[in-house]
Every structure is written in C-alpha cells, then in structure tokens.
Amino acid sequence: MQRILLTVLNLLIPVSFLLPVGAEDRPNILFIAVDDLNDWVGHLGGHPQSKTPNIDRLAGRGVSFTKAYCNAPLCNPSRVSLFSGILPSHSGVYGNGERMRDKIPDTVTLMQYLRGEGGYSVQGGGKLFHGANPYDPDSWDHYNTPRRSRQRGKRDEGLPEDAWAPWGPLDVEDSEMFDVKNVNWAISELKKSHDKPFFLACGFTKPHLPWYVPQKYFDMYPLEDIVLPETLETDRDDLPHWGRKFAIEVHDVSGPRNVATHGEDHDMVTKHGQWHRAVQSYLATISFVDTHVGRLLDALDDSAHSDNTIVVLWGDHGWHLGEKQHWRKHALWDVTTRITLVMAGPESIQKNQLCDRPVSLIDIYPTLLELTGVPQREGLDGQSLAPLLKNPKRLWDRPVIMTYGYKNHAVQTDRWRYIRYNDGGEELYDSKADPNEWENLAPFSKYDPVKAELREFLPTRNIK
C-alpha cells in the first residue's frame, strides 16, 4: 500500500520538480550527423562546385570550423570517441568491429550524461553509432529505426559488372529514401511540445557509399563540367611503408592488426573512366543531404523551440576522391580526416563566423556540457570549444590528435601535420605552404626540431 501511495504522489508532482536544478531553462540540442562528409560544402570551399545552401545557411547562424578533424578516419572509432569523449588510443576502439561496451564498459556517453545529470529527454534515429554499436540502449530514451529498402542506381552503359562503381542516379522519389524517412520522424518531434529540454539526434547515412540518390541531384552537376580534385602523379613516392599501404589498400585495423582487405581503388576508377562520375555522384549525394538538412532547419524555425535550441552538424571523417591516388578514408592525411563542423544557436555563439583554429570531434562532448550548463565530467579527452564560439579569433594552441589503428597517429597544429606509424615511419607537412600535402618533409634533418616538438603530443598510452 505504501509503495502504491508513493507512486501516486510521484505522478502528482510537476515534472519540473523531478528535473535537476536549472534543467527546465537549459537549451535544447538538435544534433545532425552526416556520414562520410568531408569539407565539400559551399562555405568551406572544399570543392568549387559543391551546392549546399542549407548547410551554409546554418553556418551563417553560428560558427563553422575550417580546420575541424575527426579523431579516427573510420566510422565506428570516430563515433565512439565523440559519444564517449575518449580518444581511440585510450579506448582501444580502432576499427569497425569493436564494441564500445566491450572495450570501455563503464563509459558514460554524452547522451547518458545529458539524461542523468542534465535532465534531458534523449532521442535518436538513423546512423549515429556505427553497426557494431547500433543503438546502445543505455544512451537513448527512444531510437527511431525506419525500414530500409534495397536500391541500386543506374550504372554507365557498357560498364562491366565487376567494375567498382557503387554510384548512379535512382528513379525514385525522395520519400523512399531511408534518410528522408528519418528526417520526417525528427521533424515530427520538433513539432511537439516537450516537458524536458531535449537532445534530438538525426543521423544521415549519406554521403556514405553507395552514392545512390534521385536523378534530380545528379542533374545539379552536369558530368561534362565536373572538376576533379588536384592531384600529383608522384605524390606517393616520398611516403614511408605504412603511408603507401594505406594509400593503396583498405585495412582492418581492429586492435594491433593491419590486414589488407581491398585492392587499388584508384586504378579501378580510372581504368573504367569513372573518376568524373564518382565526383559527380559524391557531390549529388551531399546536395541530397543538404536538401533535407534544410527541411530540419525549416521545421526548427517553425517550432516553439527555435529560440532555445543549439544546432550541431558534423561529419564523422573525411573522404578521398583520388587525392594521393587514394579513395575512401582509412588514412591519416588532411583529406581523410578533415570534416564539416558547424555549431549554431543562442546568444553565446557568434553568428556567421569562420574559425580557423584546429579542433576535433572529441571536443563536442565538453562543449555541449558547457553550453547547456550541465556540470563537466572528469575523464574526458576533449576540451570545450565554448571560448572559440564566443571569440573565433582567440589564441588556441591545442593540437588535434588522430589515430588509425594501433600506434598510428597524426598531430595537427595550426601549421604542421605530423604522422608517425607503428613501425616508426614518419610524414611531416607544412599545412600553410603545402595544403595538398604533396611534399613529405620528414626525411630532411632541418625539420628534426619540428618533429621532436610534435612528437611530444603523441599518445603515451595506447590500449590494444
């Protein structure tokens, strides 16, 4: 009887009394993840032809980072590091096969912490964690899972069946796409009233391969006008052993292993005359995503939450389309690791600003805690970007650390990128003088002091 009475009394208590102190005044968070999105968006100029008016519109409302990087150039470790706040070298999550709860079972994800300490309602849908950690029930109040349908785009006529060309236009309406179904769900949530501050995460599966989207997005980029990325035929000649292997092959880097699982993509693309088509397809798929990011932003603008919502849009890693004669991710160069990262929202965030300081996805967790007034957590590897959101030009001398597999790391500062592989092989690039990373300076003794300085930032703890 006493338990029943307590239950009835709890139901009569206003929700605000059940929330942590101050939670009812905290801003909401609209969290938009875009799979495999590099910096090919209009306002960042990663490709001169990219059409992304809605992502650019979001950038106009906040701060966009021109030197934002992932912490691992692969879906699972990148996302686990963001949501856990722990670098891959400290978690042991290096590949797509490891499960977060096996490697770091006691971690408290960003969503868990916002639910508990912050009093947030937390919902997600689409692709947020990767396949090995699809939903993590501890992290969500609700997770939306639209039904997928198999779709294959139209390939070029005469292209052999065994040719690697997972791209082409679809003869379907947008409404049939998985990402659109998920956006529709997120829009329905934005239309609702909420008793708690909410964290609403919408994960796009595009522009991850295959690049199959409706024909109208391909029509935005006439094939005969496509501009290819700048490349150098001899770009691989000065790479050390593991740099060359990463350029040529896709690898399973779970734990300490480095096992080749795929051959030379660039040769296949050029052999079958698919380079222009591939670039067109990637651009088309980005514009597809941008269209539905626009629908999300419109829904937020039309909602009761428009004045009290932080919007974060991020890509999980970069993507090569022939630079260094390399395709996909799976490497530690600038193109493989540079991402789009935009933060917009209330008064504490500057408007229509580009920030040129190096930052990474590991910084999102502590940043959102500071912006929402939720107490900071100990043990996070990132640093809050709130000072840069208030003043994008302020000094910021903290380097970014990136990892691909056991003891393969890159350090990025404002000027330099230093890469060190598990066998001691090195690369060094002057990011200002050589933004394409065409000349590896590591073999030249005059740069030994630079390498020594950057080597101090490499992780000293590497979990297998």
Strands (E), 208-283: 211-214, 251-252, 259-260
Quick check: is 130 catalytic? yes
Question: Per the residue annotation, which of 70, 75, 202, 355 is the catalytic one?
Answer: 75
Say if CB 109 and CB 86 are below 8 A apart.
Answer: no
Cα–Cα nearest to 242, from 448, 65, 434, 419: 419
Segments of 290-425 assigned E as strands: 309-315, 320-321, 327-328, 338-339, 341-344, 353-355, 359-360, 400-403, 409-412, 416-420
First-to-final CA distance of the chain? 53
Of 121, 120, 124, 180, which Cα lies nearest the Cα of 148?
A: 180
DSSP string, 64-117: EETTEE-SSSSHHHHHHHHHH---HHHH---SSS--HHHHSTT---HHHHHHHT
Collapsing DSSP to helix, strand or coil, 267 comes out as helix
- Sheet holding 416-420: strands in order across? 400-403, 409-412, 416-420, 426-430
Q: Which of 130, 266, 317, 330 is catalytic?
A: 130
- Give the CA distances from residue 381 to residues 90, 92, 130, 321, 364, in Å, rounded to whole numbers and listed in that order: 9, 14, 21, 31, 11
Nearest one of 316, 323, 373 to 341, comparing CA atoms: 316
Residues designated catalytic: 75, 130
